[in-house]
Structure 1
Amino acid sequence: MSAKDFTELAELFPDEVVTHSFVQDVDLPGAAGQPSPGTFALVTLDNGLDHRRPTTLGPNTLVELGTVLEAQRERAARGEIVGVGVTGKPHFLVAGADLSAIKKLSNPESGIMMARLGHDVFSTLNELGVPSFVFINGLALGGGLEVALNANYRTVSTGAGALGLPETFLGLVPGWGGVYLLPRLIGPANAVKVMLENPLSNNRTLSGAAAFQLGIADALFEPADFLEQSLAWAAKIITGATAVERPNAVAEPLSAADSAAWDAAVAGAKAFVEAKTSNAAPAPARAIELLEKGKAWTKAESFAAEDVALGELIQTDEFRATVYAFLDLVQKRGKRPAGAPDAALARPVTKVGVVGAGLMASQFALLFARQLKVPVVLTDIDQARVDKGVGYVHAEVDKLLAKGRISADAANRTKALVTGSVSKAAFADADFVIEAVFEELGVKKAVFAEVEEIVSAECILATNTSSLSVTAMAADLKHPERLVGFHFFNPVAVMPLLEIVRAPQTDDAVLATAFATAKALRKTAVLVKDAAAFVVNRVLLRLMGEVFSAFDEGTDAATADNALRPMGLPMTPFTLLAMVGLPVAAHVTESMHAAFGHRIAVSANLAKLIDAGRKGIWESAQDGTKFVPQETLDLLDFGSTPSTSAALLVRTQDALAQEIGLMLAEGVVAGPEDIDLCMILGAGWPMHLGGITPYLDRVGASERVNGKTFHAPAMASV
């Protein structure tokens, strides 16, 4: 079909920001004084917006690109050009399909047509009659990377960041050729990493260098002269002076070894997705199905199946929920925090002090040094602890260097920025001091009292407390207005959320500086009221409390730990309990029990496990299966009112609806959207549920418990 056959679909989207296809004829350079091999058509994709706004692919964009490529095919047939290349505006190839457009497709037929349009347009790159190239100069996600996969050859810039196929994270499948083309280009195991493991692991992406190493691109060039180098390389390909080797590629028909590797990759993908999502999200399972069956399919058969899968997934509640979570929460509300003061009030941060040199403190030091690029000084009670903290930072920088994620110069600069001292006098010229000491109010108050005697009157004091009262912490300070909660989540480098806690006396300039600092650290900040455990830990402890209470009441461990699997949470409650650590969980639970009473129960069984030195409920057998040792069960006292999985799921849903209703009534955050955002970014709440409050609306918990939903009825589909 011709791209023009899809104009009826394109006309449904008059408001689309079109990414135009600009064609420039280039005389390719000849090698070693030889004449040019001929005219090369270079197509540049550009939406005409500023450099911060990525280009996307909507129906109108695809129709225009298809029309341009068809014209180049005609030129090639006339002998006017020797090759065609596609590249993007600075910093971007394409950021993928326009989700705002896709979510408007109201029926499966329109979705299938959208998928077919992409397939038809991109397939033209393989049918030009001359070699086709894509020069990946910047971000290339989803359909952006699939443009490249459909070409004959690819180059990539070392400066290109964020390459990947995030569709399964977004509730879709790579629907424009990725499922068929990628495993054949880089091998099925590598394709599983790109299509499933990376998206479902905090939506990880590849650097340009990593994409080259996997075999996605055939050549890697530096950004300064990337286009010139790519064109020169294309000339060598066209003349035959350079040949491309693809050691990871799978030839067809598949050999016995390749067939076995394909089956192993599919099995690994199924195990990974089951562990990550409990198979509660439809998109990853559909991608695996396409990969598994695609082993024996032709390209046409696979593309047709991708069309159907994409058309059907676009109509699911899970996709609509994911788009709401990603676009409305993460992309919009996350970038415009509710309640944040005027950014103009923020003060510069030119030096950071970190009280403590343990693991959390050292992670802070590394993050501040890398992102703010300002001096950071760690302090602790003796030189050995200080040296260990600084050594941790240096070792992590060396790991980044070894992986090629930073240059040698950047590594040396980062190391030089982080120093240590046994004296807090080193904070005298700091603008921002954050504590990372033991979670005990008296300890933190003593630390801030000592620091306040040293720092300037303008220096901001920040606490990383996860549950203690910031107001109480500030009570005895000479300048309580300077203290702010700055709660990170572990691991610090990975988790994107920062809960910024405003105590009653925290002033606007301090708060504005906290938000500006969070942005500079590339974190998403949410303003929360000073209330016990803030947002994420309060919700998680309520959830874990219900499950552990059911266990105490006599529910067997397997039933209790797996009852919430329909939610598709990133880990089970008992796994989370072991990861947090039983003593930490008990300490926070006791603090919350003091604040909230019977809603947060203190388990006598948890105390017994701690006293016995247990690390958790489960232990692993040699074959990897989990079991509860009999000696653990013998330690504990159980009731005689066990719950079924279904009953415990409803009980937990109702408890969460109650707790969130109370949080909103108390004004802990500005609205339910902020709780959704906190849980997605701070607890890994599944995107396909669209946020915790729409989920509780859908399952009826908010209506059962609060007598009303958190959102208007129009939100029911998300």
Structure 2
Amino acid sequence: MTTLDAPPLPTETVTTAAFDLVDLPAGAGRVALVRLDNGDPPGPAMRPTTFGPQSLANLDQTLDALSTMAAAGEIAAVALTGKAMMFATGADLAMVPTVTAYEQALETIRQGQTVFRRLADLGVPTFAFINGLAIGGGLELALHCTYRTVSESAPALGLPECALGLVPGWGGTRLLPHLIGPEGAVRVIVTDALEDRRLLDPRTAHQLGVVDALLPAADFVGASLDWAAGVLQGRTAVPRPAPAPTTTWEAAIAHGHEFVGARAGATAAANRALDLIALAGTAPADEAFAAAAETTAELLMTDEFRASLYAVGLVRAATAPALGGGLPTPIRRVGVLGSGDAAARLAALCARRLQVPVVICGADRAAADRALRQAGELVSAHVGADRAGTSSAARQRALLSSGDDVHALAGADVVLECVQDRAAVPGLLAAAEEALGDTGVLVSTTGTVRVADLARGLRRPQRLLAIRLVPPMDTSGLVEVVAGDETDDAAEAAVRTLARRLGKVPVRIGDGAGGVVVRLLTRLVTASLAAAGGAVRADAALAPLGLPARVGVLADLVGVDLPAEVADAPAPSTDEVRHRVAVALAEEVHAMLAEGVVRTPTDVDRCLLLGAGWPTHLGGLTPYLDRVGASAQAHGAPFLPTGMASRPRSDADTTAAR
């Protein structure tokens, strides 16, 4: 079994806040234009602009100089903007492992509040020119300014902290409800965050009142300076809503609590955020800011937040664009070998996503045509009923064809085997290989036969791989990729290209029977049913985890028959049921590591997060199993090093790591 060493402690990527003096048009005065930049060049791997202690100190020094200039009448305004496509994303979460005590966390949050609040006390109006991504503390920085513009090309704005088990700590819970009303604040801070970390596009942010002006991307800073000149000269009015009545605040908070209560396993941070929004409606600013700092510091020290941060890091690494891999492998034609329900669904998915010809090869003409009709119906079901949707569906259906002989697969760049009769698969793959000639990649979708076994009857085993498709096929974001001992790089590159174009993330796993997600969900279902004595009791026991679906739904997805519910049968407590399930899952993960199905525990977590909607606040499966002691009970040790996805390291650990 592969073990993991704790990663080295990070150092801060410092964001600087240098400024230039710019004369505004129409004699509106001089503005100090501050540019936030961490020195990382634009590109797919560009690090976000963040604020750690040194970055905050740098901004503080800049504000010292600007405060002096404002008092001397040398500037009429201050404006902040960012580097290419990036305004700021807030706190430097990479520094979290260095925070080992509540007092240390509280001091960092207070430092951010102190520096950001200076923007309201400079003696001149302040502007945020949001040229790019502005989330978390980056948006909070903009909220501290008097006015805000946003570029039409900005990727997103939002306060997604609740999804990480945190709350906005640098002013968002106080400033946003007073700017757009408590209903809008509950939406942005709580509802959107819990709905898959949904963020605002620039137009929606403008409609909500989060920003004051939506401006074209071309010469955005120049257009913002023109707009600011109009504001300063009184030519451009910027309306602000009247204070909301108490009843509106109460209704918004009640709605937020109702929303959170209906979501099994929602992070505790969501209710804490609602409490802070409610406090903003009654308490003085200093009290509201102090409460936000204390709450954020408390949550920073929780396992829930550490696990969420670990989970987000895994997903971000898996979904990041690949660098240095050359051009994607061209996929111009796809073959689907099989005629059952799964084959029809796969063919429809390929036609919709790839927009290339897809041929379905069945055992006979009737079966092939039946699968073709089903695939066409599935394509139609995924588009709108208007004229545009009808036209799109017609184009996609025209890409589909069928045949009852493997020679119909000739010319395909990828052939996806999806045959229900497992015993027939080796022979069909060999026949498909002959039909393809010297080109094309063979991909088996079976989860029960090893690639090494399927490759024995092939003349070119280097072109064979397997993929494990996670149900439901249309919505799961994962493709588990299995390469054989002889699979070459070109074949694997083709499958990775296929996965990306299907809207899924390819994750390499070992050549074992079954896939990671299906195997673990199957063990979860069977263990919970056995421990609880039925699906209803199993659901009650697992509800606090916030799993993506009820046990009955998961059982249907992985093909487990539900036993009859025995209402009066004795059953252990819900805590005991959860513990038994956790131990069973720990045993399964340990077995998968031993078999080489996965190389490290993080592979397990990555697959479940991407493919099964595993709750982010649990951090993945293995951190949860470590926290509840199931890992130690199952095989004598935790899966992950202490502090990697749970509580922060002790002072002794920190000193040793340095």
2:21 pairs with 1:25:
yes
Q: Tell me how far apart the structure 2 counterparts of residues 283 and 655 of structure 1 sit (CA, whole Å).
A: 29
Maintained 8 Å contact 1:153/1:218? yes
Alpha-carbon offset, residue 561 of structure 1 = 1.2
Q: Deviation per CA, 1:363-418: give whole Å up to 9, x if none.
A: 4444445xxxxx45465736755654554565499999xxxxxxxxxx99x99788
Residue in structure 2 matching 1:381, options 353, 363, 369: 369
> 1:627: which partner in 2?
none
2:414 pairs with 1:432:
yes
Q: Tell me the amino acid that sits aligned with residue 38 of structure 1.
A: G
Q: Matched residue of 2:194: which SS?
A: coil
Residue in structure 2 matching 1:324, options 302, 310, 318: 310
2:295 pairs with 1:309:
yes
2:440 pairs with 1:459:
yes
Q: Tell me how far apart the structure 1 counterparts of residues 330 and 130 of structure 2 sit (CA, whole Å).
A: 36
Q: Matched residue of 2:79: which SS?
A: strand
Residue in structure 1 matching 2:527, options 546, 557, 578: 546
> 1:572: which partner in 2?
550
Maintained 8 Å contact 1:378/1:390? no
Residue in structure 1 matching 2:230, options 201, 215, 236: 236
Alpha-carbon offset, residue 64 of structure 1 = 1.3
Residue in structure 1 matching 2:40, options 38, 42, 49: 49
Q: Tell me how far apart the structure 1 counterparts of residues 502 and 228 of structure 2 sit (CA, whole Å).
A: 39
Q: Tell me the amino acid that sits aligned with residue 567 of structure 1.
A: L
Alpha-carbon offset, residue 483 of structure 1 = 3.0
The change in CA–CA distance for 1:189 and 1:336 in structure 2 (over 3 A counts) is same
> 1:526: which partner in 2?
507
Calculate the TM-score normalised by the size of structure 2: 0.83
2:187 pairs with 1:193:
yes
Q: How many percent identity over aligned positions? A: 39
The change in CA–CA distance for 1:645 and 1:180 in structure 2 (over 3 A counts) is same
> 1:619: which partner in 2?
none
Q: Deviation per CA, 1:526-555: give whole Å up to 9, x if none.
A: 21123333111111111111222345x4x6
Maintained 8 Å contact 2:331/2:498? no
2:401 pairs with 1:422:
yes
Maintained 8 Å contact 1:321/1:688? yes
Q: Tell me the amino acid that sits aligned with residue 634 of structure 2.
A: V
Maintained 8 Å contact 1:168/1:195? yes
Q: How much is the aligned-residue C-alpha RMSD, in angstroms?
A: 3.6
Maintained 8 Å contact 2:347/2:358? no
Correspondences of 1:94-105 after superposition (within 5 Å): 94-105=88-99
Correspondences of 1:47-86 after superposition (within 5 Å): 47-51=38-42, 52-86=46-80
2:130 pairs with 1:141:
no
> 2:588: which partner in 1?
659
Alpha-carbon offset, residue 709 of structure 1 = 2.7
Q: Tell me how far apart the structure 2 counterparts of residues 222 and 475 of structure 1 sit (CA, whole Å).
A: 60
Q: Tell me how far apart the structure 1 counterparts of residues 424 and 384 of structure 2 sit (CA, whole Å).
A: 29
Maintained 8 Å contact 2:414/2:441? yes
Maintained 8 Å contact 1:377/1:426? no
Maintained 8 Å contact 2:414/2:442? yes
Q: Tell me how far apart the structure 2 counterparts of residues 376 and 209 of structure 1 sit (CA, whole Å).
A: 37
Alpha-carbon offset, residue 198 of structure 1 = 2.7
Q: 422-431 vs 497-506, which deviates more?
A: 422-431
The change in CA–CA distance for 1:438 and 1:211 in structure 2 (over 3 A counts) is farther
> 2:268: which partner in 1?
282
Q: Tell me the amino acid that sits aligned with residue 31 of structure 2.
A: F
> 2:254: which partner in 1?
267
> 1:596: which partner in 2?
none
Correspondences of 1:340-351 after superposition (within 5 Å): 348-351=329-332
> 1:32: which partner in 2?
none
Q: Deviation per CA, 1:577-621: give whole Å up to 9, x if none.
A: 4xxxx3x543xx4xxxxxxxxxxxx6554xxxxxxxxxxxxxxxx
Maintained 8 Å contact 2:307/2:645? no
> 2:600: which partner in 1?
671
Q: Matched residue of 1:381: which SS?
A: helix
The change in CA–CA distance for 1:182 and 1:472 in structure 2 (over 3 A counts) is farther
Q: Tell me how far apart the structure 2 counterparts of residues 536 and 712 of structure 1 sit (CA, whole Å).
A: 23
Q: 500-509 vs 649-658, which deviates more?
A: 500-509
The change in CA–CA distance for 1:79 and 1:693 in structure 2 (over 3 A counts) is same
The change in CA–CA distance for 1:501 and 1:162 in structure 2 (over 3 A counts) is farther
Residue in structure 1 matching 2:575, options 646, 668, 676: 646
Q: Tell me the amino acid that sits aligned with residue 24 of structure 2.
A: L
Alpha-carbon offset, residue 638 of structure 1 = 7.4
Q: Matched residue of 1:564: which SS?
A: helix
Alpha-carbon offset, residue 205 of structure 1 = 2.1
Maintained 8 Å contact 1:377/1:427? no
Maintained 8 Å contact 2:16/2:59? yes
Alpha-carbon offset, residue 453 of structure 1 = 5.4
Alpha-carbon offset, residue 700 of structure 1 = 1.8
Maintained 8 Å contact 2:552/2:562? no
Q: Tell me how far apart the structure 1 counterparts of residues 252 and 388 of structure 2 sit (CA, whole Å).
A: 28
Maintained 8 Å contact 2:17/2:37? yes
Calculate the TM-score normalised by the size of structure 1: 0.77
Maintained 8 Å contact 2:348/2:375? no
2:15 pairs with 1:37:
no
Q: Deviation per CA, 1:112-146: give whole Å up to 9, x if none.
A: 22112221222222223222211111111101111
The change in CA–CA distance for 1:418 and 1:180 in structure 2 (over 3 A counts) is farther
Maintained 8 Å contact 1:449/1:477? yes
> 2:168: which partner in 1?
174
The change in CA–CA distance for 1:715 and 1:42 in structure 2 (over 3 A counts) is closer
In structure 2, list runs of 5 or more residues that go unmatched: 1-8, 361-367, 648-658
Q: Matched residue of 2:33: which SS?
A: strand
2:606 pairs with 1:685:
no
Q: Tell me how far apart the structure 1 counterparts of residues 181 and 454 of structure 2 sit (CA, whole Å).
A: 55
> 1:153: which partner in 2?
147
> 1:16: which partner in 2?
12
> 1:93: which partner in 2?
87
Q: Tell me the amino acid that sits aligned with residue 457 of structure 1.
A: D
Alpha-carbon offset, residue 99 of structure 1 = 0.7
Maintained 8 Å contact 1:133/1:151? yes
Alpha-carbon offset, residue 289 of structure 1 = 1.9
> 1:215: which partner in 2?
209
Alpha-carbon offset, residue 61 of structure 1 = 0.9
Q: Tell me how far apart the structure 2 counterparts of residues 302 and 318 of structure 1 sit (CA, whole Å).
A: 24
Q: Tell me how far apart the structure 2 counterparts of residues 270 and 360 of structure 1 sit (CA, whole Å).
A: 40
| Count of residue pairs the alignment pairs up | 619
Q: Tell me how far apart the structure 1 counterparts of residues 36 and 385 of structure 2 sit (CA, whole Å).
A: 38
Q: Matched residue of 1:151: which SS?
A: coil
Alpha-carbon offset, residue 308 of structure 1 = 0.6
Correspondences of 1:457-536 after superposition (within 5 Å): 457-465=438-446, 479-489=460-470, 495-515=476-496, 517-518=498-499, 523-536=504-517
Q: Tell me how far apart the structure 1 counterparts of residues 172 and 421 of structure 2 sit (CA, whole Å).
A: 51
Q: Tell me the amino acid that sits aligned with residue 309 of structure 2.
A: V
Alpha-carbon offset, residue 653 of structure 1 = 1.0
The change in CA–CA distance for 1:275 and 1:483 in structure 2 (over 3 A counts) is farther
| Larger relative contact order (Cα-Cα within 8 Å, sequence gap ≥ 6) | 2
Q: Tell me how far apart the structure 2 counterparts of residues 298 and 264 of structure 1 sit (CA, whole Å).
A: 21
Q: Matched residue of 1:44: which SS?
A: strand
Q: Tell me how far apart the structure 2 counterparts of residues 301 and 234 of structure 1 sit (CA, whole Å).
A: 32
